[in-house]
Amino acid sequence: MVENRPWLTVATHVVLVIGVLIVAFPIYVTFVASTHSLFDLVRIPMPVLPGSHMVENYLQAISAGLGEASGTAAVGAGRMMFNSLVMALGIAGGKIAISIIAAFAIVYFRFRFRMVAFWMIFITLMLPVEVRILPTYKVVADLGMLDTYGGLIIPLIASATATFMFRQVFMAVPDELAEAARIDGAGPLRFFWDVLLPLSRTNIAALFVILFIYGWNQYLWPLLITTDPEMVTIVISINRMLSVGDDQAEWQIAMATTMLAMLPPVLVVVFMQRLFVKGLVETEK
């Protein structure tokens, strides 16, 4: 602060604390809801302090979900979190792998159709899944990839943003390094593996954090292509738990599942904050 105004400092902190509380409030309510029995939960008003059913609610959510009684198959959050994890890791790893080699080709080689390739990758920025839902679904169905991990991952791994980011990183690598490598007799792949990869380690890590969150939080795509309860991801399962028509939704189990669905990406952001911020800023350049 430029000038010393103690009352303003206090006011500022008060505003910020209120802001933090408002932002955190929905999570708190959800947590409270996940620790009560349904009987306590539907009493009006809803309890404002955590209840005593936390352990049993979470155990039920992880192992059996809503269970057979609800008419849906007994697939627990454990299995669904595993599916989400496979998808998130697959998307993050896949995007990074194919983008880094594509950027390497574009930066370090001269060949015909180089610009064509560049523009083809650029175009993917303008074609989010949302604008080509049906035809993409049809392609995946024709390839027999519905309800498979491949179908969840592969159609999403093309990435203009990641390719451009690695292109930036490689452009900043001094030419002398490539020259020296050539003089020492290293071929392009050796140069890529021993020089470029180690140099881009932090960029890869930062991008991985962002893409992991992106992959974990996918909604429309898994919604379209998974029908087998064993293949459902945790983010799309919550909505299915609450769509019960006239029956009383099992809010306490659904909210425990919601907490579990948020936990991995939130932990990643909190504990890898520096990489996360770096990734956010870099992918937007």
Residue 68 or 182 with smaller CB distance to other proteins? 182
CA-wise closest residue to 203 among 174, 176, 164, 177: 164
Residues 36-65 that bind other proteins (CB under 8 A): 41-42, 44-46, 48
C-alpha–C-alpha distance, residues 94 and 97, integer Å: 5
Q: Give the count of alpha carbons within 13 A of 140, CB side only.
A: 24
Letter string b/e over residues 204-217, b meaning 16 or more CB atoms within 10 A of that residue's CB: bebbbbbbbbbbbe
Residue among 80, 87, 254, 256 that touches other proteins (CB under 8 A): 254
| 255 in contact with other proteins (CB under 8 A) | yes
Residue among 49, 55, 69, 270 that touches other proteins (CB under 8 A): 270
63 alpha-carbon distance from chain centroid: 23
Residue 104 or 208 with smaller CB distance to other proteins? 104
- Shortest gap between Cβ of 79 and other proteins (angstroms)? 18
Letter string b/e over residues 48-67, b meaning 16 or more CB atoms within 10 A of that residue's CB: eeebebbeebbebbbebbbb
- Token pair of 1, please? 């602060």
Residue 60 or 233 with smaller CB distance to other proteins? 233
Residue among 50, 51, 78, 188 that touches other proteins (CB under 8 A): 188
Of 56-64, 65-73, 138-146, 199-207, the window that binds other proteins (rule: CB under 8 A) is: 138-146
Of 53-61, 66-74, 200-208, 276-284, the window that binds other proteins (rule: CB under 8 A) is: 276-284
Residue among 49, 55, 69, 134 that touches other proteins (CB under 8 A): 134
Q: What is the DSSP string of 168-191?
A: HHHHTS-HHHHHHHHHTT--HHHH
C-alpha–C-alpha distance, residues 140 and 282, integer Å: 31
Residue among 74, 146, 199, 223 that touches other proteins (CB under 8 A): 223
Residues 62-91 that bind other proteins (CB under 8 A): none
Residues 190-209 that bind other proteins (CB under 8 A): 191
User: CA triplet 163, 164, 169: central angle to 5 degrees?
Assistant: 100
Q: How many residues line the site for other proteins (CB under 8 A)?
A: 109
Residue among 52, 59, 194, 239 that touches other proteins (CB under 8 A): 239
